[in-house]
Structure 1
Amino acid sequence: MAKNSSEVKRTALEEKTKIFLWGMTAGRCEICNKLLYIDSKFGDTANFAENAHIHAVGKNGPRHVDEMSKEEINKIENLMLLCAEHHHLIDTKPENYPDNTLIECKKHHEERIRKITEIQDDASCKIVTFFSNIDNVEIFSAEMLLKRAVVKANLYPRQDAPISLDEGSQTRYIPTKENLVEKANELEYQIKQAFNGIVKKNEVIAIFSLAPQPLLFKLGTLISDQLNVQVFQCHREGEKWSWPENEFTRIKYLIKKTCDKSEETVAMVIDLSAQIIDNRVTVVLGDECTIFHLTIESPNRLFVKNKKIQDDFVKSFRSLMEQIKNEYPNADKIHVFPAMPNSLAIRAGMDIMPKVDLPIVIYDVLSAGNEFTETIEIGG
């Protein structure tokens, strides 16, 4: 039977309860996630944590419930591990921090800690980034965004800071073919440096990249499908890089031949983010060409919502690569005109087999006139 509130007096928490709370919270504030055993400025170690009651002990305390006994008040379910700042905040402004809000914070934090620590060592990964010609890049490259995305994918980052393939780049992006060729060569050098000395062949690599499409293709070919790579998609809705939860949508990819006027000049138009009409291809290659489209029913930028959509794309891309090689033996290369999500451009590059496939020439829009320009060639 619950005691009257006047009978409930503050008593010390049992040591086992405090240890249990530390374990459940991983020694972090359950509101701001601050580490509570290391000083953030000097790095000294000490116990900076405070044990906070959701429902106060004293009758006049914040969120006190008369019906709760002393045992109930000091149970783990009524306790939070907090930094001094947030302990003071919730108790001096209890009207802004009702019990249901604090209970939700506690639940979310402790579930997250449990989920992360359940990830086994063989699910560790190294985060690799490549950002080029991106405005406000810090919005996309924030370390916590990237780490949150890999954890939600049931991985955990092995290193503290991501491996940045564009860090220290000596080449400023200019929208010209010559510049893209130079940037591609620089990227190749950066990958050799990183993968030879930092990334081991059997490690999981989590790729986050936004760049002009030719460079995304190039990145994919340099990584190849021989490594254990997971490529993350940048989303316009929700969290930038995290896969949406409980999203199992599948996409039907369509292969269409819209022009068949040449046995030698063959174009692959990958219009997934936006439609590319044939005259934008023929103005570059001439009227005497063959044009295939790899597309979806309604091209848009938002449809890549899970990894299965990536895998299905690779199957369709591979099918079209083989179809062109078999049906057009006189073609010496494939002219690729892409308008596609970042992750699919990388996955396409990963699927290309330079020693087996026809070389591909990648085109991109480099001017305000909306015309495609030849950029880099892969393979051959």
Structure 2
Amino acid sequence: MNVKSRKEIPNAVITRLWARSAGRCAYTGCNKILWQDILTRRNYNQAYIAHIVAAEPDGPRGDAILSPKLCQDYENLMLLCDSHHRLIDKVDVTGHPVNTLYEMKLAHEERMEQLTDIQENKKSQIILYLANVGPQTPALTNDIACQTIIPAYYPASTRAIDLSYRNSINRDHDSDYWKTEEDNLIKQYKEKVAPLCGDGSTAHFSVFGFAPQPLLIKLGALLGDTHAMDVYQRHREPPSWKWQLPTETINYKLIPPAKDSPIVALNISLSALVNDQHIYKTLGSDCSIWTITIDAPNVHFVRSPIQLAAFRQIARSAYDAINYRYGQQTPLHVFPAMPNSIAIEFGRSRLPKVDIPLVLYDNNKETDGFSKALTIN
């Protein structure tokens, strides 16, 4: 390879490449900073400018016609770290054809442009809340949450606000589980979220929750509806937290009770059916049962924020109707079977100054059905 005959890349092209790549390796999944040593933090240039079509015809991915034509062309250049420069040019040339490298370059530079073009009103503070659900210990990383909100919003800080009681050994059938989790949730909210709401420094929140439904309702009640926020849902098929286009219109139904009794219950049958007999078993037969449901309750039905917004309307209608009929002092006993995002929105929909108190129940086979978990006064 005749290196001496290679044309030098113009400084203007090099500057543009550094800027468009944000000084990071463009190889998919790497993103390594190339102006600073990751351990010592000393600043020095450790970048390699790689040719997609080789600068010489006999080089990696070289071409007799294109190599001399594209050797100084910005679109033919990638900013890479040493490891990935060696990988594409020496270790695995055949595994890195021209089209693959073009796609890497384009995807990296588009991502860098999105992330550096953040307007103030596009920033969102991420809130995570996880708690043990039966034998499951849910996992959700900061990176997944950040990727989920882009491009609608961009993370307001490098780390999410985490309200979880980390490494808890308590399970939702343990006697002290609910008090421990509720106390921690209130404490974390007051320390980490309330100040941001109070000083007006945060215009928007993105909320991710995976926990037993009484705790998610409590979280929603703490967050309230006075600040702009988006609540996200974990989808099983395909596995993702990103909202998807709705496949159907959801017809939520609010069904009033057949009789009025001193004890008032709300059956929320959305992800599964809650049998009224289980409510009578818990509260006694002399109770009025209101119901929020859909035509075919299932765990997968909520796929978009449009469906979530429709639930907020029916929840508000339920609060208003029950307030009007029974007065603001009568407790509402809530028996929920609903997706996590809807549980949070049910709590957010409650107006603390005017709505009746909530008594929240959890369905757990370890405790033989529904049992009282939390109250919201």
TM-score, scaled relative to structure 2 = 0.89
Which residue is 1:158 aligned to? 156
**Could you say what secondary structure the match of 1:274 adopts?**
coil
State the one-letter code of the partner of 1:98: P
C-alpha displacement at 1:293, in angstroms?
2.2
C-alpha displacement at 1:315, in angstroms?
0.6
For residues 178-197 of structure 1, the aligned pairs below 5 Å read 178-197=176-195
Is the 1:180–1:376 Cα contact (8 Å) retained in structure 2?
yes
**Could you say what secondary structure the match of 1:294 adopts?**
strand
Would you say 1:105 and 2:101 are equivalent positions?
A: no
Deviates more, 1:235-244 or 1:360-369: 235-244
Out of 23, 40, 52, which is 1:27 matched to? 23
**Could you say what secondary structure the match of 1:141 adopts?**
coil
Deviates more, 1:97-106 or 1:189-198: 189-198
C-alpha displacement at 1:241, in angstroms?
2.2
TM-score, scaled relative to structure 1 = 0.88
Residue 178 and residue 261 in structure 1: after superposition, are their counterparts in 2 closer, same or farther (change >3 A)? farther
Query: 5+ residue gaps in structure 1?
Result: none
Quote the Cα distance in structure 2 between the aligned partners of 1:35 and 1:330: 58
Which residue is 2:118 aligned to? 119
State the one-letter code of the partner of 1:61: G
Which residue is 1:231 aligned to? 231
C-alpha displacement at 1:361, in angstroms?
1.0
Is the 2:163–2:185 Cα contact (8 Å) retained in structure 1?
yes
RMSD: 2.7
Is the 2:24–2:80 Cα contact (8 Å) retained in structure 1?
yes
Which residue is 1:263 aligned to? 261
For residues 271-350 of structure 1, the aligned pairs below 5 Å read 271-329=269-327, 332-350=330-348
Is the 1:359–1:378 Cα contact (8 Å) retained in structure 2?
yes
Quote the Cα distance in structure 2 between the aligned partners of 1:198 and 1:173: 31
C-alpha displacement at 1:188, in angstroms?
1.1
**Could you say what secondary structure the match of 1:140 adopts?**
coil
**Could you say what secondary structure the match of 2:100 adopts?**
helix
Deviates more, 1:188-197 or 1:253-262: 253-262
Deviations 1:111-142 (A, max 9, x none): 222222233022222222111115775x7321
State the one-letter code of the partner of 1:21: L
Residue 67 and residue 83 in structure 1: after superposition, are their counterparts in 2 closer, same or farther (change >3 A)? same
Is the 1:269–1:292 Cα contact (8 Å) retained in structure 2?
yes
Deviations 1:347-377 (A, max 9, x none): 1111111220111111102343651111111
C-alpha displacement at 1:78, in angstroms?
0.9
C-alpha displacement at 1:255, in angstroms?
1.9
Residue 331 and residue 259 in structure 1: after superposition, are their counterparts in 2 closer, same or farther (change >3 A)? farther
Quote the Cα distance in structure 2 between the aligned partners of 1:163 and 1:257: 38
Over the matched positions of the two proteins, sequence identity in percent amounts to 33
State the one-letter code of the partner of 1:251: T
C-alpha displacement at 1:109, in angstroms?
1.3
**Could you say what secondary structure the match of 1:218 adopts?**
helix
State the one-letter code of the partner of 2:288: T
Deviates more, 1:182-191 or 1:307-316: 182-191
C-alpha displacement at 1:71, in angstroms?
3.8
C-alpha displacement at 1:248, in angstroms?
4.3
Out of 65, 76, 79, which is 1:78 matched to? 76
Is the 2:26–2:108 Cα contact (8 Å) retained in structure 1?
yes
Which residue is 2:208 aligned to? 208
State the one-letter code of the partner of 2:85: H
**Could you say what secondary structure the match of 2:266 adopts?**
strand
For residues 5-20 of structure 1, the aligned pairs below 5 Å read 9-20=5-16
Quote the Cα distance in structure 2 between the aligned partners of 1:69 and 1:97: 17
Is the 1:132–1:212 Cα contact (8 Å) retained in structure 2?
yes
Quote the Cα distance in structure 2 between the aligned partners of 1:334 and 1:250: 31
Is the 2:165–2:181 Cα contact (8 Å) retained in structure 1?
no
For residues 158-177 of structure 1, the aligned pairs below 5 Å read 158-166=156-164, 172-176=170-174
C-alpha displacement at 1:250, in angstroms?
5.2
**Could you say what secondary structure the match of 1:57 adopts?**
coil
C-alpha displacement at 1:302, in angstroms?
2.2
Residue 370 and residue 273 in structure 1: after superposition, are their counterparts in 2 closer, same or farther (change >3 A)? farther
Quote the Cα distance in structure 2 between the aligned partners of 1:170 and 1:140: 13
Deviations 1:172-206 (A, max 9, x none): 44524653134213211221111355564341222
C-alpha displacement at 1:259, in angstroms?
4.7
